Amino acid sequence: MVAVVAAVTPAVPLGYRQLGTQVAGHTFEASNAAAVGLLQDGRVFKPLGKPECGLREIQFYESLAAATSTIAAAAGDAGKAENAADNDLALLAALAEHVPRYYGQRKLVVNQREHTFLQLEDLTHGMAKPCVMDVKIGKRTWDPLSSPHKRAIEQQKYVMCKQNLGLCLPGFQVYQQEQPCGKTILIRHGRDYGKSLNVEGFHQALALFFNVQPAHANVPQLLREVLRQLHGIHSWFKRQRLLHFYASSLLICYDFDRLSNPSSQQNGYHHEPPVTPAIKPPDQWIRVRCIDFAHIFPAADAQPDENYMFGLQSLIDIVESMLQR
């Protein structure tokens, strides 16, 4: 099996470790003790990064949490619930089911320095062999406050996929059964692989990620459930004119062990008891969520986020085409 994390050993508090399933984003660096990646302890801890990015991401999660509790409180009061139904709070609260659960901030000392982390649901929890793909959404991946230099850099990255599909692939990991020996191996690809892809290559990368070949019994179920969750996110974007998401990703996670063996009973998440009965519903072993909100902005002139919806629609089209093969 390929090593899951880079050979950097940061000094982290007892009980925490590097996020072994991290496939993209900022990571620990051997030569720079100030560079911090994601941690895990059953939940995921994301460092805040640059102050303006961290602030936007905290505000996003906090506003979702506030909207969710306001709407939940209103649900107990028939009159209020009716008034709240169409407003911005209800829309924000509806987004919560498409993002990782948020458990507040936590300060942790890493490499002798204190950092603030967002405490998030681990989207791979309960998965014995997590396959994880980070797909960045949108042709435009620079935000309205970016300098001309930053815009130019962003426009030159992942050009072929980004301009044609409004998608790019900063990283993924997938378990596969080697043929003909049947041994299970872990394959990991980073941003250099993603940057080398044209449209056809992007399709092939998705086919690899979804284990389309060799055929496993549950691949059609996997594709249908991914599509169902993608459609849920798309329908939220069609309704909303509040926010524009730049350089944000979809994280697609599923458990390789469920592809051919739906009754396997491993549950690696220590916050939850083992799930019974033996067969988990698909949304327990397949999760598609929006992540990375460091560049989220209020929608200019209350316009829909066409940039995001274009990329998301391409992804839906590609997954649909795999199902029809």
Q: How far is the CB of 24 from Mg ion (least distance, A)?
A: 5
Q: Decide if residue 123 touches ligand ATP (CB under 6 A).
A: yes
Query: Does residue 47 belong to the site contacting Mg ion (CB under 5 A)?
Result: no
Shortest reach from residue 161's CB to ligand ATP, in Å? 16
**Of 277-296, which residues contact Mg ion (CB under 5 A)?**
292
Binds ligand ATP (CB under 6 A): choice among 49, 262, 268, 304: 49
Does position 22 interact with ligand ATP (CB under 6 A)? The reply is yes
Choose among 248, 268, 109, 92: nearest CA to 170: 248
Considering only 19, 22, 23, 25, the residue that binds Mg ion (CB under 5 A) is 25
Q: Which two tokens stand for residue 257?
A: 């062990």
CB of 218 or CB of 249, closer to ligand ATP: 249
Distance CA 108, CA 45 (A): 10
53-92 positions binding ligand ATP, by CB under 6 A: 53
The length of the chain, given as a count of residues: 325
Could you say which of 12, 24, 174, 233 contacts ligand ATP (CB under 6 A)? Answer: 24
149 token code pair: 């230099």
Taking a C-beta distance cutoff of 8 angstroms, is the pair 33, 112 a contact? Answer: yes
Binding segment for ligand ATP among 20-28, 149-157, 189-197, 198-206 (CB under 6 A)? 20-28
CA dist., res. 312 & res. 221, Å (int) = 20
Q: Which does 129 bind (CB under 5 to 8 A by kind): Mg ion, ligand ATP, none?
A: none
For residue 105, list its beta bridge partners: 118
Residue 291 sits in the site that holds ligand ATP (CB under 6 A): yes
Q: Which residue is nearest to ligand ATP (CB)?
A: 25
Number of H helices, E strands in the chain: 11, 12
Scanning 15-103, the segments in alpha helix (DSSP H) are 51-75, 78-84, 88-95
Residue among 210, 202, 204, 218 nearest 288 (CA):
210
Contact call for residue 135 and ligand ATP (CB under 6 A): no
Using alpha carbons, list the distances in angstroms from residue 75 to 85, 88, 270: 9, 15, 32
The span of 22-30, 197-205, 222-230, 262-270 binding Mg ion (CB under 5 A) equals 22-30
Using CB under 5 A, list all residues that contact Mg ion: 25, 292
